A and B are shown apart, each in its own frame.
Chain A
């Protein structure tokens, strides 16, 4: 009753499963390629969470930009919160070498503000509109996602998940 096709199906499935799992080692689940890498960063205009200031991305030509998408409901964003702030303190507010921008998506002003207060954020924070137009332009897959933009306004790297200090230092080093 156990004809040869059953035999081969079983071995096929076993080998397929092992091969698939082995293939897993060659990929990084945190890395999602973006067609935007190497392209000019889509321009946008956004008002600060505190309502005081309005900025446009293109204003910062000539300076690298760290563009971080986050949300107050996101756990990973809490992990990277102090790392981003520390990076801004070091290269943004102190020496003005870089512009750090955080855009909250699918969030409410109140919650986003309380998140900013909780983590002592001092860099520019804005909130995407209700339709999420800026997030759509950047093809956001989930939060946090971080775009690294060079002084010419071209996206040269994209990171999914919480960033770490070494990564930020390494990627922006050529511009400092």
Chain B
């Protein structure tokens, strides 16, 4: 028996432990036997360790290139840099599923112990739910896609990680998405726990707030990194194409964002309890739908994912999640009816509600667009494909409305706002947005901008000015009150309410993303044939082809065109080397784009062809992509914003947790 079999046995044992962890907490509650629940808690350590052992076995095999494992042979090769050997752990279906279970079991372990005193009533059901999810994933792993499967003949060299995936952004993009997907399982488990327990106060929402934020952050980061990867690797000059695989990750992000906002209404106003449960079931369900769509091969995608037999099993998992989730919800629905009604039309609750409806509407549109080819075939028997224009036409206006609501939501009060107050608050942002848009229209008059661009400019200036004015107002008040300078006052204001300012910062990140999208509406795209030594102008640049060069990058050979970039005045800026790369394990060459990044725009070169003939010449596809970099800047802004929001914990929750913990420890002391 080899080490790989040992890993497989560890996975089987982990499956048994997870089944145990699913059943035992229920028995513990039924028999009022806390020892059983304690045992389930300890089992979560055991299952994590077992899965970690299996993961270590796979990692070790990848590092030493042990091709007796089929997965190692399929996804790595001896000449790959260490970094990519590690990242091929999640580079393929089987490995990524193991990675998923590993993280899931780690989260389950933390949850089992972190909330043992503070959420004593609900925690047995939370442990059971998380264990059930893990048991299902382990079953899929062992039964259909075990990365530790051996193969009879041991090849000398592996097939290598798909060169397209050999990019730093791609190495961290999938784990980031998975962290997001898995993170949502915790609020989902708490919601299910509450439903089974039959006690649905606001506890689950408050307790899981940081989990939700973390999950949302990683999902956002995963999406941004994915866009960055597409932009750098795929060589078509864009970063988002409404491909089913992208949509799969986007849908849970949309419902997750809606959830993040609507739980605030539950927290502040004790409303929308049913809706929040619906949203978390949808969000968790959509992470499964997403994984299913990308892995089952039922929908045509440009992404060359390995298809596998795992599809039907995943579909059963999805059915389970939806049926049990909604079944429990309907069983407990009376418990969840709201105690409050919305008091006025003009209030933040309504802005949030409208935002929720829009986000869910977008998610539904994306789901419909993604599955429509199937629907058409099922109903009419016709084949069709839904392309980017469908999504852009329908979703863009919804996106604009969202942006508008983001601005309104910032300035409108909870419960009730007066017309006069609104007029006062909105006057300046409206003036600024309109003036700014007119100025930009004049400034960029030669670019021939579309209406969408003006719309986005107006909206982004509007939202930004609501954010800035809000902060300025608070800081001014603070500084005159405490007689401190502006910087100190800013610090006080943020420290007093980090959650609010974190949120505003995240909104600003969204503004940046929209500006990045706006840039795609006025990008310049041209094919240029350059003869060596003869410069040609495009936009603000002048490009001069020197010669062809060949060099090694990692395990690939690049055949690159050396292109000097000058500005219009003839000042030298940079050498760009757009290339074709040849990987030893791949039959066809890949495109390596060369990008000159600057604050306002990117110069983006794709090497199309070398043309023979008397004079050396090459053909390039040249893009000038305005504002692209701004979309990437959203990530650090999100990081800061989420960090600020996370630093806040509701006072009531902290007090509640402390009391429960002390009460528990006192009871322990009495018993002993």
Q: Report the bound CA distance from A27 to B333 in whole Å.
A: 38
Taking a contact as CB atoms under 8 Å apart, the answer to whether B298 and A24 are in contact is: yes
- Residues of B with C-beta under 8 A to A75: 302
Check if B378 sits within 8 Å of A14, measured CB to CB.
Answer: no
Chain B residues with CB below 8 A from A23, complex form: 374, 377-378
Do A25 and B312 touch across chains, with their CB atoms under 8 A apart? Answer: yes
CA distance A42 to B522 in the complex (A): 42
B381 to chain A, nearest CB (A): 9
Q: Decide if A63 is an interface residue (CB 8 Å cutoff).
A: no
| Stretch of A53-61, A78-86, A143-151, A165-173 at the chain-chain interface | A78-86
Which among B274, B312, B378, B609 is the interface contact of A20 at CB below 8 angstroms? Answer: B378
**A103 CA to B292 CA, complexed, in Å:** 37
With A7-B330, A18-B315, A20-B374 known as contacts, the answer to whether A25 contacts B296 (CB < 8 A) is: yes
Chain A residues with Cβ under 8 A from B587's Cβ? 82
Residues A29 and B298 in contact in the complex (CB < 8 Å), given A20-B378, A111-B608: yes
Q: Mark A5-22, 1 if CB is under 8 A from B, else 0.
A: 001001100100110111
With both chains docked as a complex, state the minimum distance between the C-beta of A159 and any C-beta of chain B, in angstroms: 14
Residues 292 to 349 of chain B near chain A (Cβ within 8 Å):
292, 296-300, 302, 311-312, 315, 318-319, 322-323, 326, 330, 333, 337
Question: Which A residues, 60 to 93, have Cβ-Cβ distances below 8 Å to chain B?
Answer: 75, 78-79, 81-82
Using C-beta atoms within 8 Å of the partner chain, give the interface range for chain A.
20 to 34
Give chain A nearest CB distance to B64 CB in angstroms. 31
Q: Is B436 an interface residue (CB 8 A)?
A: no
B-contacting residues, A1-52, CB 8 Å: 1-2, 7, 10-11, 14, 17-18, 20-25, 27, 29-30, 32-33
Q: In the complex the two chains form, what is the Cα distance from A10 to B330 in whole Å?
A: 10
Contact B373 A29 (CB under 8 A): yes
Q: Are A24 and B299 CB-contacts (below 8 A) given A11-B326, A14-B326?
A: yes
Contacts of A1 in B (CB 8 A): 337
| Complex: A75 Cα to B330 Cα, angstroms | 49
* Contact (Cβ within 8 A) A18 B374: no
Interface footprint category on B: 35 or more
Task: Report whether A21 and B292 are in contact in the complex, using a CB–CB cutoff of 8 Å.
Answer: yes
- Determine if A110 and B374 form an interchain contact, defined as CB atoms under 8 angstroms apart: no
Residues of B within 8 A of A18 (CB): 315, 318-319, 322
Residues of chain B within 8 A (CB-CB) of A78 are 588
- A96 near B: Cβ within 8 Å? no
Give residues of chain A (134-169) contacting chain B, Cβ–Cβ below 8 Å: 141-142
Partner of A2, one of B274, B298, B319: B274
Q: In the complex, what distance in Å separates the CA atom of A75 from the CA atom of B304? A: 11
Q: Considering only CB atoms, which chain B residue lies closest to A23 in the complex?
A: B378
Which residues of A are found within 8 Å of B297, using beta-carbon distances?
Answer: 29
Could you say which residues of chain A place their CB within 8 Å of the CB of B375? 20
What residues of chain B lie closer than 8 Å to A33, measured between beta carbons?
383
With both beta carbons as reference points, the residue of chain A lying nearest to B580 in the complex is identified as: A118
Known: A1-B337, A110-B619. A25 touches B298 (CB 8 A): yes
A24–B370 CA distance with the chains assembled, in angstroms: 12
| A10 neighbours in B (Cβ, 8 Å) | 326, 330
Q: Does any Cβ of B come within 8 Å of A133's Cβ?
A: no
Residues of chain B contacted by A122 (CB below 8 angstroms): none
User: Across the interface, which residues of B come within 8 angstroms of A22, CB to CB?
Assistant: 312, 315
Secondary structure type dominating chain B contacts:
helix
Residues of A within 8 A of B296 (CB): 21, 24-25
- Chain B residue numbers with a CB within 8 Å of A20 are 371, 374-375, 378
Q: Specify which chain A residues have a CB less than 8 angstroms from the CB of B392 in the assembled complex.
A: none
Docked Cα-Cα span, A37 to B337, in Å, equals: 59
Contact B311 A25 (CB under 8 A): yes
- Give A75's nearest chain B residue, CB to CB: B302
Complexed CA–CA distance, A96 and B277 (Å)? 68
Bound CA span A23–B298, Å: 9
CB distance from A20 to the nearest CB of B (A): 6
A58 and B315 CA atoms in complex are apart in Å by 49
Q: How far is the CA of A25 from the CA of B296 in the complex (A)?
A: 8
Cβ distance A28 to chain B, nearest Cβ, rounded Å:
9
Instruction: Judge if B647 is at the interface, Cβ distance under 8 Å.
Output: no
Q: Given A20-B378, A21-B292, are A27 and B318 neighbors across the interface (CB < 8 Å)?
A: no
B595-627 at interface with A (beta carbon < 8 Å): 608-611, 619
Residues on the A chain within 8 Å of B378, using CB: 20, 23
A1 to B339, CA, bound (A): 13
User: A24: which of B323, B333, B374 is its contact (CB, 8 Å)?
Assistant: B374
Flag if B611 contacts A110 (CB, 8 Å): yes
Interface-centre pick from B311, B322, B610 (highest chain A CB count, 10 A): B322
Does A81 lie within 8 Å of B322, measured CB to CB?
A: no
Chain B residues, Cβ within 8 Å of A32: 383
B319 CB contacts on chain A under 8 angstroms = 14, 18
Which chain B residues border A14 with CB–CB below 8 Å? 319, 322-323, 326
Which of chain A's residues has its CB closest to B301's CB? Answer: A29
Residues of B contacting A114 in the complex (Cβ-Cβ under 8 angstroms) = 608-611, 619
Given A23-B378, A114-B611, answer yes or no on A79-B322 (Cβ-Cβ < 8 Å).
no
Instruction: Give bound CA distance, A141 to B387, whole Å.
Output: 13
Q: Give A5 Cβ to nearest chain B Cβ, in Å.
A: 13
A27 touches B337 (CB 8 A): no
Q: Taking the nearest CB of chain B, how far is it from the CB of A13, in angstroms?
A: 9
B374-A27 in contact (CB<8A): yes
Chain A residues, Cβ within 8 Å of B383: 32-33, 141
**Partner pick for B588 among A24, A29, A79, CB 8 A cutoff:** A79
Q: CB-CB < 8 A to B371: which residues of A?
A: 17, 20-21
B299 pairs with A29, CB closer than 8 A: yes
Residues of chain A with a CB closer than 8 A to B299's CB: 24, 29
Closest chain A residue to B378, Cβ basis: A23
The complex places the Cα of A24 from the Cα of B375 at a distance, in Å, of 9
A22 vs B377: C-alpha distance in the bound complex, in angstroms?
Answer: 13
In the complex, the chain A residue whose C-beta lies closest to that of B587 is A82
Bound: A32/B382 CA distance, A: 9
- In chain B, positions 557-615 with a C-beta closer than 8 Å to chain A are 587-588, 608-611
Separation in Å of the A61 CB from the closest CB of chain B?
Answer: 31
- The smallest beta-carbon distance between A21 and chain B, in angstroms, is 6
Proximity string of chain B (253-271) to chain A, C-beta cutoff 8 Å, 1 when within and 0 when not: 0000000000000000000
Q: How far is the CB of B158 from chain A (nearest CB, A)?
A: 20
A contact residues around B377 at 8 Å (CB):
23, 27
A30, B377: Cα distance in complex, Å: 13
Instruction: State whether A30 and B300 are in contact (beta carbons under 8 Å apart), knowing that A11-B326, A114-B609, A114-B611 are contacts in the complex.
Output: yes
Please report the C-alpha to C-alpha distance between residue A114 and residue B580 in the assembled complex, in whole angstroms. 14
Chain A neighbourhood of B330, CB < 8 A: 2, 7, 10
Chain B residues, CB < 8 A from A27: 298, 374, 377
B333→A2 contact, CB < 8 A: yes
Q: CB-CB < 8 A to B315: which residues of A? A: 18, 21-22
5 closest Cβ pairs, A-B complex:
A24-B298, A29-B300, A114-B609, A32-B383, A78-B588
What are 18 A-B contacts defined by CB distance under 8 Å? A10-B326, A11-B326, A14-B323, A17-B289, A17-B322, A21-B298, A21-B374, A25-B311, A25-B312, A27-B374, A27-B377, A33-B383, A82-B587, A82-B588, A110-B611, A111-B609, A114-B608, A141-B383
Besides A27-B374, A79-B588, 12 other A-B contacts (C-beta < 8 A): A17-B289, A17-B322, A18-B318, A20-B371, A21-B292, A21-B371, A25-B312, A29-B297, A78-B588, A82-B588, A111-B609, A114-B609
Residues of A within 8 A of B (CB): 1-2, 7, 10-11, 14, 17-18, 20-25, 27, 29-30, 32-33, 75, 78-79, 81-82, 110-111, 114, 118, 141-142
